[in-house]
Structure 1
Amino acid sequence: MLRWIIFILIFGIIDVYAYQAFKTVSKSNWLNILYWVLSLLVIGNFIYRLFNLNRDDFGNAHAYAFGFLIALLVPKIMLLMIMFAEDVFRVPHAIYRYFTEGEVAKGNYMPSRRAFISKIALGIAAIPFASILYGIYRGKYNYKVLKYTLHFEDLPDAFDGYKLTQISDIHSGSFDNMEKVDYAVGLINEQKSDVILFTGDMVNNKATEMKPYMEVFGKLSAKDGMYSVLGNHDYGDYVRWESEEAKNQNLEDLKLVQKEIGFDLLLNEHRFIEKNGERIAIVGVENWGAGGFKKAGDLRKASSQIQKNDFKILMSHDPSHWEKEVIKDDYHYHLTLSGHTHGMQFGIEIPGWFKWSPVKWRYKYWAGIYEELGQYINVNRGFGYLAFPGRVGIWPEITVIELKKGTKKA
């Protein structure tokens, strides 16, 4: 209960400060009342949905309660900062008047807020407000196909021009629009890649979340097959199961779901794709993540029957695995495919020029292509979304990578 009291108190302080900008500009009592009604509805809904919540029953209603709270909270924090900055000048001025004017001021020491400051503050706050609402209603299904060409001197000749499509972090339990998901699956097939690789987190927690979407994802196809690995959410670790047997059965059910869709799930295993007497290795490890995440991945076991000079594509859900173990492995994994970060579903990105997200403070490799020691990793921004029911600036991604023989031309 104490945490809710503290939460309401903090939100109340932010709200009162933000209201200063609103009432300075608004001359309508009805608009002022509407401001407080909207705030109370959003915070009341949030508390109602999340009071005593556990992860077992976190659904779309809870996600939207959280989303609408963020949609109001972020702009109001910006208003608070601007109004507080104005007070840095107003308060000293009021103190000065108190000591110099005394009773002449009749107690009105504090200068009135300036309307143009409030208008600027509201204009600035409107940007994240509109962006977050767009992210909730449209951004989470604003699928982008990102294409890369990577060059390798030791790529087998038969695989020159080979195309792969990577998807990651489906999080099917969060979806609320079957048509949009079906459209995205169509986009994947339109790429006509040789192979489709899925790098984990098919569900939020339970295998049953994927059941309504099995027919849609069952449309996926690729000439050389589809391969997958598990992500941290696929193990059901974030649910309080009635027994360990129920948890284990959920994982077995998810494995069966993946098989029925058409994925060859690699559990610390590998497969070879052969063409014209040459081959490349598709290596898949279970989840391995730094910072408290499950470390079930076993790179040695997955590569136990692969030659050191084989061309290797590694699927590993968490990019921290690449940073901590893969880069310096003497087996030299040419290309690693990861996901997990979602790009935090929030950031600013100008393709080819600039990208930023707060998640960069947690993950060194968080979105896109990186190269270290002659090896590449692609961190997919994710197909779905989790918790916050939207995406702002970091859009859902379908990655297409073409492998080319030789060195990159300047």
Structure 2
Amino acid sequence: MKRKLNVIPLLIISILFFLLNWYVLSGIEVVANTPSTPLFFWTIIAFSTALLIYSISRIQTMGMGMLFKIATHFFLILFASELLFVALLFLGDVYHYISGQPRNVNWIIFDLFVTTLLIGTFIYGMVRGKYAYRVIKHTLYFEDLPQSFDGFTISQISDVHSGSFTDAKAVQKGIDMIIAQRSDVFVFTGDLVNNKAGEIKPWIDMFSKIKAPFGQFSILGNHDYGDYVNWESPQKKDENLNNLKKYHADMGYRLLLDEHIKLQKGNDKIILAGVENWGIGFGERGDLKKALSGTNDADFK
């Protein structure tokens, strides 16, 4: 039996979306009142909306690939900038209503300027900001930390999403920053790819350069399981996951799948455990009890 689509919420959202854009256009026309302005404006709105709807409809077959990213980023930039423009425009209209004066052209120009700055900031953040890597250092204190591990250092990164990489030099810069920390152990905590294992293949050699005296360890994130792609068969999905596990090994990372290892230093040891992905709404695969099986309560974990 087919599910019935509840059109009322969709209709309400569509009406509100139209009114939002109509109000935006009314402000733009104060400074650009030409016959082509409405056509140009509504063409952009229609294109961005259609692109978003199409990309969402193709998630199951294409996954959250480049088309989906472009569509969602473009739409979010447009929507966020419109909200800012509307907020400032509304303030100007309140003054216009109270004072009885016509809309202030200079205020709307200022509104457009601020909105343009926001759009530019968004675009920079999405194109270049993803490579704005930083090293954030934290010192942790534990009363029961084995003495030999006092001063022990860990480098941790996550959410690489290698399918989004486009700039090898920028990625290498991030790798060099990790290597420069000269940490005792390196851990990668999930989401090596967006959807498919093959995304990391061009970067395996680069990431394999990360080494640490006590080893390199990793776990899987929700994107690593291929859940956001409509695979030809369950076997293809399993094959993708197995390939990804192999790529972890190719990079020199010991993938921990609900298991633990012991890091030994002198006469002391600590337990490093790794579970499969666990998160409400993102798959609850991890089994911490299984991962810690065979350890003692007295062990530092």
1:284 aligned partner, one-letter code: G
Question: Could you tell me which residue of structure 2 aligns to residue 377 of structure 1?
Answer: none
Picking from 287, 292, 299, the partner of 1:303 is: 292
Picking from 260, 278, 282, the partner of 2:268 is: 278
User: In structure 2, the residue corresponding to 1:148 is in which secondary structure?
Assistant: coil
* CA drift at 1:255: 0.8
Change (3 A) 1:281 1:236: same
Structure 1: distance between partners of 2:213 and 2:121 = 39
Taking only the aligned residue pairs, the percentage that are identical comes to 36
Question: Could you tell me which residue of structure 2 aligns to residue 68 of structure 1?
Answer: 74
Question: Could you tell me which residue of structure 2 aligns to residue 238 of structure 1?
Answer: 228
Picking from 126, 130, 150, the partner of 2:116 is: 126
TM-score, length basis structure 1: 0.64
* CA drift at 1:274: 0.6
Question: Could you tell me which residue of structure 1 aligns to residue 148 of structure 2?
Answer: 158
User: In structure 1, the residue corresponding to 2:135 is in which secondary structure?
Assistant: strand
What are the within-5 Å matches in structure 2 for residues 340-359 of structure 1?
none
How many residues align structurally? 292
Change (3 A) 1:159 1:136: same
Structure 2: distance between partners of 1:39 and 1:66 = 18
Conservation of the 8 A alpha-carbon contact between 1:229 and 1:266: yes
Picking from 17, 20, 23, the partner of 1:17 is: 23
* CA drift at 1:92: 7.8
TM-score, length basis structure 2: 0.85
Q: Which moved more, 1:10-19 or 1:240-249?
A: 10-19
User: In structure 2, the residue corresponding to 1:149 is in which secondary structure?
Assistant: coil
Structure 2: distance between partners of 1:230 and 1:288 = 10
1:191 equivalent to 2:181? Answer yes
User: In structure 2, the residue corresponding to 1:152 is in which secondary structure?
Assistant: coil
2:202 aligned partner, one-letter code: P
* CA drift at 1:23: 3.5
1:53 aligned partner, one-letter code: R
CA RMSD of aligned residues (A): 2.8
Deviations 1:74-103 (A, max 9, x none): 12111222323444565688xxxxxxxxxx
Structure 1: distance between partners of 2:61 and 2:199 = 12
Change (3 A) 1:228 1:18: same
Conservation of the 8 A alpha-carbon contact between 2:65 and 2:194: no
* CA drift at 1:59: 2.4
Structure 2: distance between partners of 1:141 and 1:49 = 25
Change (3 A) 1:50 1:262: farther
1:44 aligned partner, one-letter code: F
Change (3 A) 1:151 1:67: same
2:115 aligned partner, one-letter code: A
Conservation of the 8 A alpha-carbon contact between 2:52 and 2:75: no
1:147 equivalent to 2:152? Answer no
Change (3 A) 1:47 1:176: farther
1:47 equivalent to 2:50? Answer yes
Conservation of the 8 A alpha-carbon contact between 1:42 and 1:65: no
Between Structure 1 and Structure 2, which shows a larger proportion of strand residues? 1
Picking from 203, 216, 220, the partner of 2:193 is: 203
Structure 2: distance between partners of 1:43 and 1:196 = 47
Conservation of the 8 A alpha-carbon contact between 1:50 and 1:62: no
Structure 1: distance between partners of 2:251 and 2:50 = 38
User: In structure 2, the residue corresponding to 1:282 is in which secondary structure?
Assistant: strand
Change (3 A) 1:140 1:38: farther
Between Structure 1 and Structure 2, which shows a larger proportion of helix residues? 2
Deviations 1:138-170 (A, max 9, x none): 111111111111122221111111111001111
Q: Which moved more, 1:114-123 or 1:38-47?
A: 38-47
What are the within-5 Å matches in structure 2 for residues 4-403 of structure 1?
10-24=16-30, 26=31, 29=34, 33=36, 37=40, 40-41=43-44, 43-44=46-47, 47-48=50-51, 50-51=53-54, 52-57=57-62, 58-88=64-94, 112-290=102-280, 292-312=281-301
Structure 2: distance between partners of 1:229 and 1:158 = 26
Structure 2: distance between partners of 1:36 and 1:216 = 48
Structure 1: distance between partners of 2:206 and 2:33 = 50
